[in-house]
Amino acid sequence: MSDHTTVDVDQQIVTQLSVMAPRVFQVSRSPLKEKLRRKIEDCVDARLKKGLQLEAAILLLPALFKEDPGLMYEVEGHAQTRPSETATPKILLKGCREGHPMQYDHISLVLDGQLVTEESEDISMALGLLLCIYFTFEIQYPKGLKKTLTFWSVLF
């Protein structure tokens, strides 16, 4: 992506969302919010806590726009199969202890159920790769995630 736009997508996500993350977390009404809040509060390392806030904001943002987070990410083993009319890249959080999306062992990206990459170090990098897949393959945003993905693309 940076070859085409000179933008480091992962760095932009981290930079932009670091400022917004506390507010996104505060105003979200997602049922996932409480589970994420407990994980963040249990963290004693300030730097790690900031990273967890960033990841929580990424996971909560679709709900903030009243969209379907299942179109952006799935927790392996807790996914709901949805028929799709278009190609649908997704973040797949694998090995999540107790089904908690922020307690993953590793992250994959899939496109229509096919593995694209397992190169993601964290959720922000996975989001950057997800946006790159949409851009590179000129995939239309799904209706149930259009506001969220448009929000991300405006940041770059």
Helix (H) or strand (E) holding 22: helix 9-27
Q: Copy the structure tokens of residue 144.
A: 């149930």
Q: Where are the domains of the chain?
A: 2-154
Where does the pLDDT of residue 74 fall: very low under 50, low under 70, confident under 90, or very high at 90 and above? very high
User: Residue 109's pLDDT is what?
Assistant: 94
Assign 89 to helix, strand or coil: strand
Where does the pLDDT of residue 60 fall: very low under 50, low under 70, confident under 90, or very high at 90 and above? very high
Residue spans of beta strands (DSSP E) within 14-113: 73-75, 89-94, 106-111
pLDDT reading at 67 higher than 50: yes
More confident residue, 20 or 86: 20
Quick one: angle between helices 46-64 and 9-27, nearest 10? Answer: 80
pLDDT in tens, 110-134: 998 889 998 888 998 899 889 889 9
pLDDT in tens, 4-58: 566 677 777 788 888 888 888 888 888 899 999 999 999 999 999 988 999 999 9
Residue spans of beta strands (DSSP E) within 14-155: 73-75, 89-94, 106-111, 114-120
pTM value is 0.84
Q: Copy the structure tokens of residue 111.
A: 């496109």
**Dihedral angle over CA of 64, 57, 126, 42, nearest 10:** -140
Which amino acid does the sequence have at 135? F
pLDDT in tens, 90-115: 999 999 988 889 989 999 999 988 89
